[in-house]
Every structure is written in structure tokens, then in C-alpha cells.
Amino acid sequence: MRRILFLAQAEILHVVRDRATLAQALVVPIVQMLVLANAATFEIRNTPTWIVDLDRTATSRGLVNRIAASGHFEIIGTTASLEVADESMLAGDATLVLTIPHDFEASLVRTRHADVQLTLNAEKGSAAGIVQSYASSILASYAAEIGESAGLLREAGPTAAGLVSRISPGVQIVQHTRYNPTRNYKHYMVPGILVALVTLIGTLLTSQNIAREKELGTLEQLNVTPITRGQFIAGKLLPYWGIAMVELAIGLTVGVLVFGVPVRGSIVLLFGVAAVYLLVALGIGLFISTLVSTQQQAMFVTFFIVNIYLLMSGLFTPIDSMAPWVQTVSQVNPVRHFVTISRAILMKGAGVQEIGRPFAMLGVFAVVVLTVAVRQYRKRTA
């Protein structure tokens, strides 16, 4: 035990002595979280929109005003020329072009029906579908409104704005968005980004650790001491485990205070899971470190793995949307389980029972990874 502590103490000194590393490990991630959490949103606001109003009547202008006032669209230009709008879309400036045909008002009066054309720039990604649904709902409510003001609407039931939509006499649909009623993306992303940063830093620090001692030749000195392989790995792991836990605690506090991330479940349970998860993440880092011979190799391998961790974990894009085989493969991704668990505990208030399966997986990973790391480490030089 004393040997483990000595080694751990040496590691701590290494990190604390190096101000740059300390700043990178503790400060930069928090700053990144504060900044980047604002970027991760699919929420559509200010969609750059061109209006091609060929009708130029009070009705068409009313529609344009409705679009402008909705808050979802930013009208970047109005033109009577289809070419100008098309060019803007090619240049990537416009996401939506709304074309109102010249017989818009006349057609509404005559046939009570009119078409408009929505041209979406699919290059802008998943935004396109949502933009379309926003635009369609504005069209529908505008149609209802002018119908009403024209006295065409008979007795329509009172509609509570937004939540209850009376789609036809009969069924009322009440919509309920659980766990995130304000649809705040930050509540969803902040815990995820925190996990990403802690994992990135922790894995990098550990994977580079033994490789560095190999490069500097100091590993041989350790090898001739009576320390056992298990003690060696434990001594290398503990300090970084501590750093990562502290970072997680700081990050979570900042997330709660600054972004109002809800804490609906047990915080003790969350840190209990984090303790196990970090053993896995850092254990994998140490395992990489025992495999490679230079820090450069350690870095590339770590990056390869961390990239896979992050992009295949459901952190940024939902697991449910991934190709089926990717969903299966992602079961061995510890980040996937930890992200699922932390969101379940924080946002949904899940207890031990609900997170049982992923938690058990993490436990199994921890045992396997640490065993493999200890076995892989040889007290001899190649």
C-alpha cells in the first residue's frame, strides 16, 4: 500500500509541477464546457430566409409579416426574382426560400385554397425538416386567422396556445414533453460535454504516462524496484482518477450554477457510477500506454479511441439513429453507458434499478480492463 502511495505521490508532483498540464487538465475543460455548450443545439432560430413575393397583395404581405414575427426566421432579403434567391441558396446564405405565386390572394378568395412554395437547403442538415414544420404551422395558423377575420370561420373551440391543438372536432391531443419541458438543449448537452472532456483529458494523461517513462528511460528504474505489477498500475491510476473526479465535480457544479442543469436523481449515485466509469476510461489509457513505445504512438491511438468514444456514444447524435450494427458495437463503448446513465440520473431522476444494466456493464468493463492492463505491463524492457 505504501508503495502505491509513493508512486501516486510522484505522479501528483509531476502534474502539479507542470503548470501548463495542470491548467490544461483543470481549467481549459471548464472554459470549453462553458463556451461549447452554447454551440450544441439543433434548435432552429433565425433561419436565413429569402422571400420571393410575386403576389404583392395585402394577404401575401400579411404572410410575410407572420413569418418574420415568428422568431424562427430571419428575412435576409425580399426579391421578385427567382434567380437572385436561387443564387443566395447556392452561395449557402439562405436556408429557406418562400415563393408566393402571383395569384396567391386571388386563388384564396376564389377557391379558398392557395399554394406557396418552400425551397429548403438540405445542405443545412437536419435543420431542413424542422424548418419545414415551423413554416407549415405558420401557414396553417395564418390560413386560420385570415379565415376567421373574413368571417369564414364558424364556431371554433378555444385553443390553448401551443399545447392543445384541436385538429378536428373530437380528439384533443395533449402533448407532454417529459424531463425537458422547456426543450433546453443545454440541459441535454452540458453533462455530455463534461463527460467528453473528462474522458479526453483522463485518457490522454494516462496513455501518455508510461510511454513517456519508456522514452525517458525512467521506467527501467521503476522496474528494478520491488513494486508489483498491480501496485504499479494502481499507483499510476489513482492520481489521475482523483484529478478526473475533481474535474467532474467542478464541471457539474458549474453546469448546475451557470446552465441550470437539473439534478433530479441522487448525486451520490452519479458519483458512484463516475468512480467506476473512470476506472474503465483511465484503465484503457494505461493499457494503451503499456502497448506503445513512444508518446507519439500513444497519442494517435488515444485519439483514434477517444474519437470513437465520443462520436459513437450518443453524445451528439442519438444512438437510436445509428445503423443497427453500430448500435450493437456501441455496447462495448463505456462512454455510451456513462452518458446514458448521467442523463438518466440528472434529467430523469432515475434510480439504481433503472440504470442497473448499463451500470453492471461498466462494472464488468472495469474488472476486464484493469486485469488486462496489469497483465500487459511487463517488468522488463523489450
Partner 1 sequence: MRSLLGLLRKEVQHIRRDPRTLAVVLMLPVVQVVLFGFAIRTDVDHVRLAIVDPAPDETTLAMRSRFTSAGVFEVKAVLQRLEDLEPLFQSGDIQEGVVFERDFAAKLRDGDAQMLIVTDGTEPNTASLLQAYAQSVVFAYQRESAGVGRSSPGGLAITAQVRTRFNPTRESSNLFVPGLMAFVLTIISSLMTAISLTREKETGTLEALLVSPLRPWSIIVGKVFPYLVIGFISAIAVIVEARLIFHVPMRGSLLLLLADALLFILASLSLGILVSARTSSQRVAMMGAALATMLPNILLSGFIFPVESMPLALRLLSNLIPGRWFVEIARGIMLKGVGLEYVWPQSVVLVVMSLVLLTAAARSFNARLE
- Footprint on residues 134-163 left by partner 1 (CB under 8 A): 135-136, 139-140, 142-144, 146-148, 150, 152-153, 156
User: Is residue 170 a contact point for partner 1 (CB under 8 A)?
Assistant: yes
User: Is residue 91 a contact point for partner 1 (CB under 8 A)?
Assistant: yes
Consecutive H or E run containing 100: strand 96-100
Sign of CA dihedral 92, 93, 94, 100: negative
Q: Cβ neighbours of residue 327 under 8 Å, at least 6 residues apart?
A: 319, 320
User: Is residue 5 a contact point for partner 1 (CB under 8 A)?
Assistant: no
Distance between terminal CA atoms of the chain? 28
Distance CA 228, CA 266 (A): 37
Nearest approach, Cβ of residue 350 and partner 1 (Å)? 4
Sheet of 96-100: strands edge to edge? 73-79, 47-53, 96-100
Nearest approach, Cβ of residue 285 and partner 1 (Å)? 12
CB nearer partner 1, residue 52 or residue 370: 52
Site residue total, partner 1 (CB under 8 A): 132
Nearest approach, Cβ of residue 267 and partner 1 (Å)? 16
Binding residues for partner 1 restricted to 303-362, rule: CB under 8 A: 303-304, 306-308, 310-312, 316-318, 320-323, 325-326, 330, 340, 343-344, 347-351, 353-355, 357
The answer to whether 173 and 167 have CB atoms below 8 angstroms apart is yes
The answer to whether 234 and 371 have CB atoms below 8 angstroms apart is no
- Among 4, 29, 365, 373, interactor with partner 1 by CB under 8 A: 29
Binding residues for partner 1 restricted to 118-137, rule: CB under 8 A: 118-130, 132-133, 135-136
- Among 13, 16, 18, 218, interactor with partner 1 by CB under 8 A: 18
CB nearer partner 1, residue 112 or residue 367: 112
Distance CA 237, CA 283 (A): 7
User: Is residue 373 a contact point for partner 1 (CB under 8 A)?
Assistant: no
Binding residues for partner 1 restricted to 238-277, rule: CB under 8 A: none
- Among 9, 13, 16, 38, interactor with partner 1 by CB under 8 A: 38
Task: State the helix-helix crossing angle for 104-111 and 58-69, rounded to 10 degrees.
Answer: 100
Nearest approach, Cβ of residue 248 and partner 1 (Å)? 16
Closest CA to 372 of 287, 254, 265: 287
- C-alpha to C-alpha distances, 296 to 217, 285, 306, nearest whole angstrom: 16, 14, 15
Nearest approach, Cβ of residue 21 and partner 1 (Å)? 6
